[in-house]
Amino acid sequence: MTRMVNCVLLKREAEGLERPTYPGELGQRIFENVSKEAWANWIKQQTILMNEYRLSPINPKDRKFLEEEMEKFFFGDGASKVDNFVPEK
């Protein structure tokens, strides 16, 4: 049976994640309140941030930045805008 959540990003009930995708308290909040679709949207946003700002997941400073952006994306004011980013058409 599919686990459903009231997704904080989509503002509707949707299929939930199968397991926590991030460690700690933030990961638990995401697991309980974020849908698979919303998580996929975050992965796209994270990729944009990593490419545009040349971030490395190995660098603790970059990981902290991405975690803060993830929290804003799901539970704050939304994603930060990336200067000079133009999506492909």
Q: Which CATH number fits domain 4-75: 1.10.1060.10, 1.10.3880.10, 3.90.1150.10, 3.30.420.40?
A: 1.10.3880.10
- The residue ranges of every structural domain in the chain are 4-75
pLDDT at 34 over 80: yes
| Model confidence pLDDT, tens digit, residues 56-78 | 989 999 999 999 999 999 999 87
pTM, two decimals, is: 0.87
pLDDT at 89 over 70: no
Calpha distance 89→73 (Å, rounded): 23
pLDDT at position 35 is 97
Strand, helix or coil for residue 14: strand
Residues 6+ apart with CB under 8 A from 67: 26
| Phi and psi angles of residue 10, each rounded to the nearest 5 degrees, phi first | -85, -15
User: Which is it for the CA torsion 33, 76, 47, 24, positive or negative?
Assistant: negative
